[in-house]
Amino acid sequence: MATVGFIGLGIMGRPMLKNLLKAGHTVIAYGRNPQKLDACVADGAQRGISNRDVGSRASIVITMLPDGPEVEEVVLGEDGVLAGCEPGTLIIDMSSINPLVSQRIAAACRDRNVDFMDAPVSGGEPKAIEGTLAIMAGGSEVSFGKAEAVLRCMGSSVTLTGPVGAGNTTKLANQIMVACNIAAMGEALALATRCGLDPEIVVNAVKGGLAGSAVLNAKAPMLIARNFKPGFTIRLHQKDLRNALLAGEANHVFLPLTAMVQQMLLSLMGNGKGELDHSAIATFVEGLSREEIEVPSRKS
């Protein structure tokens, strides 16, 4: 069993931390929100007093933060994780950030003889709670060997995708596919509803065929039930698509569908929907079509 530092105690971070505790690891938790930190200590974690403190006490440190600037501050800041780490410590960033930022942080860690991996996840809050996330790791074979047992406490699928940055590139590809899938689902169900069909019946009819997907199974019921309690927010998905477009620009790859859906997400954020679950991407089409996707018997 390892002593694991965990920084970032939000929707995803806390259930991931709890699964490490369930597996028997010693976990040192830290985050800026005192209430969230208190909750993690009540779950059984030890209390960290700063990022640096966590780095000095753990052999493996996991960060789960909103975006690249936060990861750079937590890891590389004056009182950051790296300032407290002993040589040989492994830092695993499980945030979804720009791959270039991951590579920049890895270079700074290498100068201090500290290992670094990027290992973003997919599956949202439900799979974080279940411990069945898909984890896409980027780093050396040696680092992956150190990390794998810990990562498998949080994910049912753990894949080394390449060197540092590859994990986040894989996650960006994942986020493109998920966002475009939800947007297409919204268009399809808006059409079906306008034509007088029950969207629940339509989903059940198509999910066993080629149109079936994990996205359809997870997000169509939320959309139809008007349940937008966030497992993964529109605001965070917009951030991921922005990073995908930046990566596309840097690598001269044309991403027209990604750009269109990213603009849809920005519009929804402008309308106060940024903290809704990303299943609400479909409401962009509803707004333009003036057609709410809902089971007919529930309509007033």
Q: Catalytic site residues?
A: 171
Q: 107 CB contacts (<8 Å, ≥6 apart)?
A: none
* Residues paired with residue 46 on neighbouring β-strands, in sequence order: 28
Question: What is the DSSP code (8-state) at residue 27?
Answer: E
| Number of helical (H) and strand (E) elements in the chain, helices listed first | 14, 9
Q: Hey, what amino acid is at 115?
A: D
Question: What is the DSSP code (8-state) at residue 248?
Answer: H
Structure tokens at 74: 């937590």
Instruction: Output the CA angle 28-167-240, nearest 5 degrees.
Output: 90
Look at the chain and count its residues: 300
Tokens 């840097």 map to which residue?
A: 250
Residue 73 host element (H or E): helix 68-76
String of b and e for 200-239 (b: at least 16 CB within 10 Å)? bebbeebeeeeeebebbebbbebbbeeebebbbbbbbbbb
Question: What is the DSSP code (8-state) at residue 85?
Answer: P
